[in-house]
């Protein structure tokens, strides 16, 4: 496909499903850590990656990537002398439990050279994440949350929505999860399940002196009070006839991508967007680009293959970090650290992570990595990379005992977490004062949908 546009954009995604369902049916027994069916990608977040480069660099980029592909395939008995398209999942295989700490040999070389090539050719990357549990909360309760928060100044929308999502992600019972994802159960009834479940949790831990638990209990008590006082505003939408009940709202991804393109000051009418198989072009019309080509075969578009190997790598890394950091519901007072295995790095792995952090986060732009309202997974990935990058060299990094790295990382996570929460609350107050609430801000395209 030939294009005269100045800029070429390619998008691929991982973690999407036709519809998201709760575990616990005849085929999938319930698992309290996973809670929902995750599809073939096994990700608790939907992750999309876009790569952007100028047409003038396209030939160099595509030839360099094809060379990378060939070099990797030549190291594999399975892919050597094969014309099969190399996918990110082929490279990571199943040996990625502790991320880059499990990446070595040709697999590490491939990603090392990939980041070098992208940096050298000024390829811009945008990554967007949205938590799958949050999609169900949005579907059921977003309009209700906005209505309540816009009417009452003392209730902060971000805090309420975030706390509700976090409770469901971490603490919700099997009964709540299965009701939440069941279109035959009304919003009001689901809210009653949530109310009873949170009250049960608060009663169980009411005598706790643990600082983290006291903060958690305070948040949960606020949710209980809001349900007690404002449940009457909740509307029971009819979902039973919907084939796809809980699924991704692509407006979220498009909104964040629009922020990224605006920050880059991209000439929209000089850009062509290329979408992998399964995408619909009309989803991206609001970006106002010159051309949008959808449902393309990545065999014919190197840009799509670059997006694939990036999104598979980043999505899987985030997934591994997220699962490894989940706290034990049966022992909620125990502080949870990442396993030290994530930090057991060779010098080559260490230098690669520093390079990756610089490429993804130190490009001078705010919206290269974005998330929806619930940001824990993306922040975990960011702080993991930033923590590694704080060390000037490998000798300095190795001078710290391996069991100490997870503790130091958690301290960094806590600092940035508090800052993000503070900034989100500040933005919430600004939206109320300037736009008279989230409802108006969303209609005007100012706040995320």
**CA 195, 200, 206, 211: dihedral to nearest 10 degrees?**
-70
Instruction: Give pLDDT < 70 ranges for the chain.
Output: 1-4, 26, 240-243
Those residues whose C-beta lies under 8 Å from the C-beta of residue 256, and which sit 6 or more positions away, are 126, 128, 367, 370, 448
Spatial contact of 225 and 195, defined as CB atoms under 8 Å apart: no
Closest CA to 137 of 222, 32, 223: 223
pLDDT value for 82: 79
Q: Is the dihedral of CA 13, 250, 423, 228 positive or negative?
A: negative
Closest CA to 197 of 172, 220, 214: 172
pLDDT value for 27: 76
In this structure, how many other beta carbons lie within 10 angstroms of the beta carbon of residue 341? 14
In this structure, how many other beta carbons lie within 10 angstroms of the beta carbon of residue 140? 24
pLDDT value for 2: 46
pLDDT value for 190: 98
Cα 433 to Cα 152, 418, 436, 440, distances in angstroms: 12, 23, 6, 11
Those residues whose C-beta lies under 8 Å from the C-beta of residue 94, and which sit 6 or more positions away, are none
Element (DSSP H or E) covering residue 64: helix 58-73
338, two tokens: 């990442």
pLDDT value for 237: 86
Cα 339–341–342 angle (5° rounding)? 85
Q: Is the dihedral of CA 53, 59, 65, 68 positive or negative?
A: negative
Cα 372 to Cα 165: distance, rounded to the nearest angstrom:
12
The HSE-up count of residue 81 (CA atoms within 13 Å, CB side) is 1
pLDDT value for 279: 86
- The helix/strand/coil state of 46 is strand
Closest CA to 374 of 335, 441, 420: 420
pLDDT value for 26: 66
């Amino acid at each position: 496909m030939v294009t005269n546009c100045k800029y070429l954009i390619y998008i691929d995604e991982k973690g999407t499903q036709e519809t998201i369902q709760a575990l616990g049916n005849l085929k999938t027994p319930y698992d309290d850590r996973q809670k929902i069916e995750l599809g073939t990608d096994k990700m608790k977040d939907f992750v999309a990656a876009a790569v952007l480069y100028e047409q003038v660099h396209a030939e160099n980029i595509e030839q360099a990537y094809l060379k990378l592909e060939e070099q990797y395939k030549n190291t594999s008995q399975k892919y050597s002398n094969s014309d099969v398209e190399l996918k990110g999942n082929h490279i990571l295989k199943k040996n990625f439990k502790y991320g880059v700490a499990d990446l070595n040999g040709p697999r590490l070389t491939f990603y090392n050279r990939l980041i070098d090539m992208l940096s050298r050719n000024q390829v811009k990357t945008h990554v967007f994440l949205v938590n799958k549990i949050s999609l169900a909360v949005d579907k059921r309760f977003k309009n209700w949350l906005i209505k309540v928060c816009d009417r009452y100044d003392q209730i902060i929308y971000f805090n309420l929505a975030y706390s509700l999502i976090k409770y469901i992600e971490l603490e919700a019972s099997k009964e709540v999860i299965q009701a939440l994802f069941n279109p035959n159960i009304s919003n009001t009834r689901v809210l009653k399940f949530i109310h009873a479940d949170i009250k049960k949790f608060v009663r169980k831990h009411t005598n706790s002196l643990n600082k983290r638990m006291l903060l958690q209990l305070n948040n949960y008590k606020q949710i209980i009070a809001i349900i007690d006082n404002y449940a009457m505003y909740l509307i029971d939408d009819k979902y039973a006839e919907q084939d796809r009940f809980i699924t991704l709202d692509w407006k979220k991804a498009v909104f964040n991508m629009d922020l990224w393109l605006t920050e880059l000051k991209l000439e929209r009418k000089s850009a062509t967007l290329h979408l992998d198989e399964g995408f619909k072009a009309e989803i991206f019309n609001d970006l106002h680009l010159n051309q949008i080509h959808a449902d393309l075969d990545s065999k014919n578009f190197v840009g799509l293959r670059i997006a694939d190997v990036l999104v598979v790598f980043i999505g899987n890394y985030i997934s591994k970090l997220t699962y490894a950091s989940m706290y034990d519901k049966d022992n909620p007072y125990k502080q949870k650290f990442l396993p030290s295995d994530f930090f057991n790095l060779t010098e080559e792995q260490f230098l690669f992570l520093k390079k990756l952090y610089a490429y993804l986060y130190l490009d001078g732009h705010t919206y290269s990595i974005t998330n929806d309202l619930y940001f824990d997974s993306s922040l975990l990935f960011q702080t993991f990379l930033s923590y590694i990058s704080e060390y000037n060299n490998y000798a300095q990094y190795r001078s710290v005992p391996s069991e100490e790295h997870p503790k130091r990382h958690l301290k960094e996570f806590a600092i940035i977490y508090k800052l993000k929460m503070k900034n989100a609350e500040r933005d919430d107050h600004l939206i109320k004062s300037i736009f008279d609430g989230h409802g108006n801000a969303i209609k005007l395209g100012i706040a995320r949908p």
